[in-house]
Structure 1
Amino acid sequence: MGSGICGGERFVNKYINLWILIGVCAISALVEPRFLGPTNLINISNVASILLIAALAQMLIILLGEIDLSMGSVVALVSMVTVMTANQFGIWYGFLAGIAAGGIAGLLNGFITSLGVPSFITTVAALTYMAGIARYISGGIPVESKDPASGLLGSTYVGPIPLTVLIAACLLGLIYAVTKFSQFGRVVYFIGSNKRATLLSGVNISRSILLTFTVSGTLTGLAGIILASRVHSGQPELFPTLAFEAIGAIALGGIPLTGGRGSVWQVLSGVIIYSVIKNALTLANFSSQVQQVILGLILILAVTVSMYSSKRTKLGVIGA
């Protein structure tokens, strides 16, 4: 009898995100019939693609047992670098400069963290000084793009599917392959699970941290480029809550924030659940202020549940 109950509990836990998503979609469709319309579903996927890219970048850091709170400032700085470079030398140079800016931001965060400074402190500092750089180079005002091709990434469709959705899907597959099959992926999980054991096994933890933050920063840079492409400008206050929404989506997906566990599929499910809820609130004509309150409470709840579940798991392992 006990084993049957445990088996049922495992089944529910394994598919809990699916049940939540079905429930949210069902309620949204009942409240607002437009929710299941193809136009709205495409809109949800288009908006979710940016958050998915950022959440994948954040997942890599969280798997290490670290965190990155600087994403909002990074995408703002990347948008400024992208547009200002594109206005001078052309859009493709702008894209390359934006990617490089994101990678360098990640490299700096990784380097400081690899020295032993807690990533929370490192990235809070980066959140501040990168925002300052973005405001300084722009004079505190948005910079409009002069290149008609600046909207290429943000507004192009391949058939009925937004290009950004295809980019996010490709990155999902790439990160899945890296975390599942590569030595780098195994090391990231190993560090997050037990940093001391990883160190004793001869792994160069500092190098792994540096590489992981650099890859994550590059992905965040891509998100910044796409955001700049959508608004045809560089903005010093482009997406200030990006890091917190990405962390919340990861927690909604059931990934513990303590490191060592999680998959891209959990990230995907969390992003979809968060994006569906956000879209449903918009369709229900909630004001932006009320939406912020509701979404903030949902993120707090998700993170709290994630931390509690992780604590229970650790206690269960110790008790066993």
Structure 2
Amino acid sequence: MRRSVSIFREQWFFLLIVEVALAVGTGLINPRFFGLNNLENILEQVSVLGLVASGATLLMFAGNFDISVGANIGMSACLMAIMIKAGYGEAPSVAAGILLATVNSFFVGACSILFKAPSFIISLACIGIFRGIALAFTKGVLQLIYGNFEFLGTERFFNIIPLMFLISLAGYLIVHFILKYTKVGRRAFAIGSNVQAAYLAGIPVNRNKLIFFIINGLLVGVAATLLLSRIGAAQPSTGSGIELQAIGAVVIGGTPMTGGRGKIIGTFFGVLLTGIISNALNMLQVNPYFQDVAIGALIIVSLAVSAFSQRGQRA
């Protein structure tokens, strides 16, 4: 009985109910919503965002932010596309792109620690750095690789489930394992709850922050790989705006901006809800500009629910 009551209080369960209601309502108005092609499209859409949001979850648990991930994706995807076009092979190109994304994320974390500045400010500055470098080595030209490296973006298991979505699920599971079963995960919660108390408890705060950023960079690199495989092209603006969607999905999933608590399952349903809302508005032929309005309003509502929940627990 207690377990069932606790589930009803979980934010992810509330999101699940909203998603079911939204899907049923949209399907009744436009039956194409439940078409196989559309459902596959939703899973593909949330796959890249899911990997980025998984990394953002780990960072936010520890009270950090990286809003340069969109520019990081663009830079990494451009490098992969250029190498593939030059004939270096898909595997070396992907490895180089993921390595670059990891180094970029490490750079954000290292600068934040070295200069004792909020990671939000450092990553804000890095948006210009990453995008500027990408513009320099691409000369602003779209890098097309149509006909190459399509496997990750087109493969289906049982001709239904996109491989991209399965890779995204693996990202969620990896972050869940880290947070629940490793010292790194427990330290993320401790640092996010009270960084000074974590330091006094003997936790190497700076070293663990760098680990968080490295894991985030790896997930961002994989996300860039999936995005490149799906669209078959890259430019410096590829991935632009995904950082705000990822942070929004994490907040919608119940992780507070201050860190210290939350669950990766909440992030999963937060990402899924953003995908369903976007697709439902398209199906209902709503002005696409209102999609941003809907997501923004949803984030505010999620913050309000979290705030009232904390007040209720204190009372």
Task: Give the TM-score normalised by the residue count of structure 2.
Answer: 0.91
Deviation, structure 1 residue 94: 0.6
Deviation, structure 1 residue 310: 4.5
For residues 216-269 of structure 1, the C-alpha deviation after alignment (integer angstroms, 9 at most, x for no partner) is 011111111111112222211112110011111122222212101111110111
What's the counterpart of residue 284 of structure 1?
A: 284
Deviation, structure 1 residue 76: 0.4
Deviation, structure 1 residue 145: 2.3
Give the counterpart letter for 1:296 in structure 2. D
SS in 2 for 1:59: helix
What's the counterpart of residue 8 of structure 2?
A: 11
For residues 113-162 of structure 1, the C-alpha deviation after alignment (integer angstroms, 9 at most, x for no partner) is 2232111101111111111111111111211227x442122222222221
Deviation, structure 1 residue 20: 0.9
Structure 2: distance between partners of 1:51 and 1:299 = 14
What's the counterpart of residue 225 of structure 1?
A: 225
What's the counterpart of residue 297 of structure 2?
A: 301
Give the counterpart letter for 1:59 in structure 2. T
Question: Would the aligned equivalents of 1:86 and 1:92 in 2 still touch at CA under 8 Å?
Answer: no
Name the CA shift for 1:22/1:158 in 2 (closer, same or farther; >3 Å): closer
Q: Give 1:23-172 correspondences, 5 Å limit.
A: 23-88=21-86, 89-115=88-114, 116-145=116-145, 148-160=147-159, 161-172=161-172
**What is the Cα-based RMSD across aligned positions, in Å?**
2.1
Structure 2: distance between partners of 1:285 and 1:17 = 23
Structure 2: distance between partners of 1:252 and 1:301 = 10
SS in 2 for 1:259: coil
For residues 158-189 of structure 1, the C-alpha deviation after alignment (integer angstroms, 9 at most, x for no partner) is 22221111111222222111111011111011
Structure 2: distance between partners of 1:283 and 1:314 = 36
Question: Would the aligned equivalents of 2:281 and 2:291 in 1 still touch at CA under 8 Å?
Answer: no
Q: Which moved more, 1:133-142 or 1:277-286?
A: 277-286
Deviation, structure 1 residue 37: 1.7
- The share of aligned pairs that are identical, in percent, is 28
SS in 1 for 2:225: helix
Which residues of structure 1 form unaligned runs of 5+? none
Question: Would the aligned equivalents of 2:73 and 2:224 in 1 still touch at CA under 8 Å?
Answer: yes
Question: Would the aligned equivalents of 2:140 and 2:236 in 1 still touch at CA under 8 Å?
Answer: yes
Q: Which moved more, 1:199-208 or 1:296-305?
A: 296-305
For residues 5-58 of structure 1, the C-alpha deviation after alignment (integer angstroms, 9 at most, x for no partner) is xx9798355521122112111211112111112221111111111111111011
Question: Would the aligned equivalents of 1:73 and 1:130 in 2 still touch at CA under 8 Å?
Answer: yes
Question: Would the aligned equivalents of 2:112 and 2:119 in 1 still touch at CA under 8 Å?
Answer: yes
Structure 2: distance between partners of 1:119 and 1:64 = 11
SS in 1 for 2:238: coil
Question: Would the aligned equivalents of 2:254 and 2:263 in 1 still touch at CA under 8 Å?
Answer: no
Structure 1: distance between partners of 2:297 and 2:176 = 27
Question: Would the aligned equivalents of 2:106 and 2:213 in 1 still touch at CA under 8 Å?
Answer: yes
Question: Would the aligned equivalents of 2:71 and 2:131 in 1 still touch at CA under 8 Å?
Answer: yes
Aligned pairs, number: 309
What's the counterpart of residue 234 of structure 2?
A: 234
Name the CA shift for 1:10/1:98 in 2 (closer, same or farther; >3 Å): closer
SS in 2 for 1:150: coil
Flag as ranges the 4+ runs of structure 1 deviating above 4 A. 7-10, 309-317
